[in-house]
Structure 1
Amino acid sequence: MPVRTAKFEIGQIVKHRLFPFRGVIFDVDPVFANTEEWWQAIPEEVRPSKDQPYYHLYAQNEQTSYVAYVSEQNLLPDDSGRPVAHPEIAKAFAGLADGRYLPRDRPVN
């Protein structure tokens, strides 16, 4: 499988193209790296290809916060300027500046 360059960056705030949630990217896989079972559970008519970057997000919707795994084709930049409300953000990021989360200098356990 060819590897494509990621379009989005760690710390960037994004929103889902189809579903009402947004989040901050905390990790990137150059190609699909989840289970086959997870991929097969996606309805075939909207199932994304595996040969694209996949992003780990600290995500939120109107009801809750959670971790999401999303294909690049299903993400759009979120330019709202609003922070993402997720309890794990403070562990990975030092703060928000210019609409982007700034990674911590060192890992925090």
Structure 2
Amino acid sequence: MMKASSAKFAIGQVVRHRVFGFRGLIFDVDPEFDNTEEWWLAIPEDIRPHKEQPFYHLFAENAETEYIAYVSEQNLVPDHSGDPLRNPLIGEMFTRDPNGAYRAKPIIAH
């Protein structure tokens, strides 16, 4: 039986990719891999993460562009730079408080 893992990072936390250096804001967490086998196999085998760990959905950005990323916990580190993120999707779900932290907006049911 697999031991349930708990996420090391939280929704609203800014992180950086350990290998590729891009930054992102976590907006969702899967307790373990929940993407396609094709996606997983497209990762080079020598750096392919194991599936039995949390995977994070990020509003990500690098020097050139903004995008959505799906990243294993083993490939993330906290980003303590305090620099704001520019991904335009962030404003739909988060606000940035005076201390620079990102807070999820309240969800209003219709």
Q: TM-score range by the shorter chain?
A: over 0.9
CA distance in 1, matches of 2:98, 2:48: 34
CA contact (8 A) 1:60 1:86 kept: yes
Aligned partner of 2:55 in structure 1 is: 54
Q: SS in structure 2 opposite 1:91?
A: helix
Task: Report matched runs for 1:3-82 at 5 Å.
Answer: 3-82=4-83
Instruction: State the TM-score, normalizing by the size of structure 2.
Output: 0.92
Figure out how many residues of one structure are paired with residues of the other and give that number: 108
Cα drift, residue 53 of structure 1: 0.2
Aligned partner of 1:85 in structure 2 is: 86
CA distance in 1, matches of 2:15, 2:21: 11
CA distance in 1, matches of 2:74, 2:100: 21
- Structure 1 gaps of 5+ residues are none
Q: Deviations over 1:36-84 (max 9, x none)?
A: 0000000000000000000000000000000000000000000000111
Cα drift, residue 27 of structure 1: 0.2
- Structure 2 gaps of 5+ residues are none
Q: 4+ residue runs of structure 1 moved beyond 6 angstroms?
A: none
- The sequence identity of aligned pairs, in percent, is 56
CA distance in 2, matches of 1:38, 1:107: 33
Instruction: State the TM-score, normalizing by the size of structure 1.
Output: 0.93
